[in-house]
Amino acid sequence: MEYYSKKIINRFMHPKNLGKIKEADGIGDTTNLRCGDLMKIYLKVEKRGDEEIIKDAKFETFGCGHAIAISDMMCDLVKGKTFTEALKVGYEDIAEEIGPIPPVKVHCAKLAQAALKAAIEDYKEKTKL
Amino acid sequence: MPKIYLDYAATTPCDPKVAKAMSVFLKKDFGNPSSIHNFGQKASMAIGMARQNLAEFLGCESEEIVFTGSATEADNLAIFGTLKAVKITKPHIITSQIEHPAVLESCRELERRGVEVTYLSVGKDGVVEVSELKKAMKSNTVLVSIMYANNEVGTIQPIAEIGELIKKINTKILFHIDAVQAANFLDCDVKKLGVDLLTLSGHKIYGPKGVGALYVKRGTPIAPIIYGGGHERGLRSGTENVAGIVGLGQAVKEIQNPKLKIQNIRIRQFRDKLIKTILKIIPASRLNGSLTQRLANNVNISFDGAEGEAIVVALDQKGIACSTGSACSSGSLEPSHVLLALGLSEEAAHGSLRLTLGKYNTAKDIEKIIKVLPVIIQRLRKISGYK
């Protein structure tokens, strides 16, 4: 396995979901000092009946190429999903899209999950009546 | 896309003269140096000549050179081999926090076996304080192992001064230096340096991989760590890597070529231009390690808001090969132990880039990286949300 696959390089060089969302409904960040990565996910949420749908997701990441590619992919995968569905997105789903990730980098997917979870919690906190 | 190599501290290409010298011993003169027939004797003589080359370079006798399978093995032999031979109940060794893993991990293993180890801290400049070393010396100190020049930040240690101090305090204390990164640039005369053991590597000096050497001063107590047919005066059994040893010998001969001095001046000018320009045109960038006590080919710079491995991957996309200061790419996620020892924060240690120059670099290479790097840092800072 190549340390950096073509698909991952492509995502790293040309991320689709980079940046902040102005007036985001939820913002979550996380730190993983062991590898030094910091991820931040911004969400735009739409309420449909009883359910919340993620309308848009963007990211900012201080990390390696894998961490950046995974953050970007995570944003892609959660768009259009309900919170319950989005929280189920994990390493396997990301790997299905961008190919396998070296074992030492698998934790980047966990980091993206944690950032997403934090963003959803932030939304819930903000909308609590 | 033309490829630019700026990772000479990781490994160097073989000099064509080295490759040519080696190829004879891979094909035509393939004999086992231990054989008494002509094939064997040709190989044996070639090893003798390589040994002579190393002896000239180090200012020692050829009998004081032991060829090994790598510099890591030479470091292991120096540390485990001497500790095995020195008969003392609770030995103490001194090393530094910024050593190569070949030394650091050997010391940690000895610690697990009950040996006392002092890991000297370094200042922000990445240089060992001789006064600190003096304070660390004890009556049971048997070995001091300090690298000549650091592989990550290129800082040069005051070896001659340390050598003098050790011999003044206790002539029985052995002094080992890892001169792997230093060999291309610094005087390696073992008498001037006052060392008992010195490690060299083939592939950092335009020689082949898979061969190293240890200088062992006559009379130094040392026992083998590999047992077998008694090659290399019993200190390193195993049929000699003839082509590799010939390559190392040729590489060392090339280092002594007066042309190298001119090459090294050019390399130093490139280095100075890189450091000066990068620090000037990229905001929030800092040089790691001393500017003055530094190898002529080493640039190690931290950038706020841009992670080291991401910089390396992005540069690779532009055809520029370099490395991070951190060990992240080698499978460990811990930030560089060297940068942490220099007092960098974990985040800063993760945001470092190491450019190491060599004799095949051109002025164009330097211009290219100066052009490409600011764009990459800016893009990564945008990705990380750095203001």
Given CB atoms, is B334 within the 8 Å cutoff of chain A?
Answer: yes
Alpha-carbon gap: A11 to the closest alpha carbon of chain B (Å)? 12
Facing residues of A45 across strands? A54
Q: What confidence score (pLDDT) does residue B307 get?
A: 92
- In A40-99, the residues whose Cβ lies within 8 Å of chain B are 40, 60-65, 67-68
Given CB atoms, is B313 within the 8 Å cutoff of chain A?
Answer: yes
Q: What confidence score (pLDDT) does residue B333 get?
A: 67
Of B309, B331, B335, the CB nearest to A64: B309
Cβ-count burial of B318 within 10 angstroms (0-12 exposed, 13-18 middle, 19+ buried)? middle
How many whole angstroms separate alpha carbon B349 and alpha carbon B333?
Answer: 12
Residue B153 pLDDT exceeds 80:
yes
Residue of A54, A77, A108, A115 marked active site: A108
φ and ψ of B22, to 5 deg? -70, -40
Residue with token string 């070896």: B159
Q: What confidence score (pLDDT) does residue A34 get?
A: 61
Q: Among candidates B130, B111, B119, which has minimal Cα distance to B340?
A: B119
CB B323 within 8 Å of CB B10: yes
Q: What confidence score (pLDDT) does residue A2 get?
A: 80
Is the overall model pTM greater than 0.90, yes or no?
Answer: yes
Considering only residues B182 and A33, tell me which one the structure prediction assigns the higher pLDDT.
Answer: B182
CATH topology of domain A6-127: Sufe protein. Chain: A (3.90.1010)
Residue A33 pLDDT exceeds 70:
no
| A108 part of the active site | yes
Tell me which of A48-57, A106-115, B320-329 is least confident.
B320-329
Of A19, A40, A65, the CB nearest to B313: A65
- Give the mean pLDDT of chain A: 91
| pLDDT tens profile A94-124 | 999 998 888 888 888 999 999 999 999 999 9
Cβ contact, residue pair A60, B305, below 8 Å? no
Residue A32 pLDDT exceeds 80:
no
| pLDDT tens profile A71-99 | 999 999 999 999 999 999 999 999 999 98
CATH topology of domain B258-384: Aspartate Aminotransferase, domain 1 (3.90.1150)
Alpha-carbon gap: B99 to the closest alpha carbon of chain A (Å)? 21
| Nearest residue of chain A to residue B326 (CA atoms) | A35
Q: Among candidates A107, A35, A41, A33, which has minimal Cα distance to A72?
A: A41
% of chain B surpassing 90 pLDDT: 93
Alpha-carbon gap: A46 to the closest alpha carbon of chain B (Å)? 25
Given CB atoms, is A18 within the 8 Å cutoff of chain B?
Answer: yes
| pLDDT tens profile B73-124 | 999 999 999 999 998 989 999 999 999 999 999 999 999 999 999 999 999 9
| Nearest residue of chain B to residue A38 (CA atoms) | B384
φ and ψ of B117, to 5 deg? -125, 135
Facing residues of B118 across strands? B94
pLDDT confidence tier of residue A60, bands split at 50, 70 and 90: very high
Q: Average pLDDT, stretch B352-356?
A: 96
Q: What confidence score (pLDDT) does residue B304 get?
A: 94
Q: What confidence score (pLDDT) does residue A129 get?
A: 60
What ipTM was estimated for this complex? 0.92
pLDDT confidence tier of residue B328, bands split at 50, 70 and 90: very low
Cβ contact, residue pair B384, A33, below 8 Å? no
Tell me which of A24-33, B48-57, B281-290, B365-374 is least confident.
A24-33
pLDDT confidence tier of residue B329, bands split at 50, 70 and 90: very low
B229 residue type, one letter: G
Q: Average pLDDT, stretch B264-274?
A: 98
Domain residue ranges of chain B, discontinuous segments joined by +: 16-255, 258-384
Q: Among candidates B182, B219, B226, which has minimal Cα distance to B197?
A: B219
Residue of A35, A53, A106, A114 marked active site: A35
Q: What is the CATH code for B16-255?
A: 3.40.640.10
- Give the mean pLDDT of chain B: 95
| Nearest residue of chain A to residue B316 (CA atoms) | A9
